[in-house]
Amino acid sequence: MKKVFLISVFVSLLVSCGVYQLQKSEGVSVGVTDLDSDNSELIDMVAPYKNSLDSTMNEVIAISDMEMSTGSPQGLLGNWACDLSLEIGNEHYKEVSEFEADFSLLNNGGLRTFLPEGEVTRRKIFEIMPFENELVVITLSPEKTAELFRFIAAKTVKEGNRKQGVPVSSNIELYIKEQLPVNVLIDSVPLKGRNYRVITSDYLANGGDNMSFFLNPVSYEKLGIKLRDAMLVHCERETKKGKALTSNLDKRIMYVN
């Protein structure tokens, strides 16, 4: 039975473009190839599937103009991930809704490694986002939206700790003074007393990383795409356009005196 299970898992993973692990949302990775030396027969049985997976995962799917990592108050990797999440997430959202989300928000802790300059493989995207987190749209009340920006300001440091800070999309301008938001603009418009739609991961939407402002929202809508898959789609699109991956540090989160 164990042999059949392992082979079945590998075939399923191969068809789905290959993951070596069964993942839980921002949780523990459960390895399916971590077989001990007493399982040499099983290792031989799954070897052909592993070789096929290796080939798929080692495929170069994009070129990056720069190395990207997380950071605070901003990081190139977090900015990149939020911007593509808003773009691709809204494409999916418009298929089921007459609206668009207003902005996107993720967390540095969910981005597990850096994106290198130069060749980017499918494996690297899986390493950056090893979790099965899906993109969702959360509609927040004016009060919850204000709480969200207070949370970002409190979590943001001027420099240094790359795990501090909360990545947001480029259409946000958040000005912080003494860990408090003093001005917030969305698409160059000051924050208003209305509901806002936010694209984020289902992990964060369920209160992960202490983001309790997402709990009990006005609405919770699934987009039917994983964050990792959105990254892969973005990489493949840029490559087809003949463009390299890029990111920048802009005005989205700033400290003021």
Q: Binning pLDDT at 50, 70 and 90, where does residue 230 land?
A: very high
Q: Cα–Cα distances in Å, from 8 out to 2, 4, 22, 36, 49?
A: 10, 6, 13, 19, 10
Domain boundary residue, one of 57, 75, 94: 57
H or E stretch at 143: helix 142-155
pLDDT in tens, 27-62: 434 344 444 555 677 667 666 767 767 888 999 999
Q: What is the pLDDT of residue 44?
A: 72
Tell me the one-letter amino acid at 16.
S
Same domain assignment for residues 80 and 163 = yes
Length of the chain: 257
Domain boundary residue, one of 33, 57, 81: 57
Which of 44-48, 155-159, 218-222, 225-229 is the least confident region?
A: 44-48
Same domain assignment for residues 37 and 156 = no
Same domain assignment for residues 12 and 87 = no
Same domain assignment for residues 66 and 33 = no
Q: Cα–Cα distances in Å, from 133 out to 37, 45, 152, 213?
A: 33, 31, 21, 19
Q: Which residues, 6 or more positions from 175, have their beta carbon under 8 angstroms from its beta carbon?
A: 181, 182, 183, 184, 254, 255, 256
Share above pLDDT 70 across residues of the chain, in percent, rounded to a whole number: 81
Tell me the one-letter amino acid at 49.
Y
Same domain assignment for residues 189 and 248 = yes
Same domain assignment for residues 25 and 93 = no
Domain encompassing residue 166: 62-255
Same domain assignment for residues 95 and 45 = no
Return the CA Rg of the chain: 20
CATH number of the domain enclosing 160: 3.90.780.10
| pTM (two decimals) | 0.84
Report how many domains make up the chain: 2
Same domain assignment for residues 69 and 181 = yes
